[in-house]
Amino acid sequence: MSEGFLVRQLIQLGLVGNAIRPVPGAWPSIPAFFAGWLTAELAPHLFASTVVDTAVHFARRGLRDENATPASPASPASPPPAR
C-alpha cells in the first residue's frame, strides 16, 4: 500500500471521527466544529472521492502486497466488522 493512499484514507478516517465525536474544549471546539460540519455536509462527495481513490490505487498497483486488500478498515469497500 502506498504511503499517499494510506495517508489520504487516515485523514478521511480522522475527519469522520471528528464529525461523529468532536474534540471538546473551548478553543479546539471551534475548528473541530467547522471541520465536522464540512465533513457531515460533504459526506456523499467524500465517499465518492474515496471510492475513486481506492479504484485508482488498485488499478495502478493491483493486489501485489498482501496488506493492500480492499478490506482495509479505512476503505469504503470493506465489509462491516464481524460481531
Its pTM surpasses 0.85: no
Distance of alpha carbon 70 from alpha carbon 10, whole angstroms: 15
**For residue 4, is pLDDT > 80?**
yes
Digit-coded pLDDT (tens) for 41-68:
888 898 898 899 888 888 887 766 555 5
> What is the helix, strand, coil percentage profile of the chain, to 5?
60, 0, 40
Digit-coded pLDDT (tens) for 7-27:
888 888 888 888 888 877 778
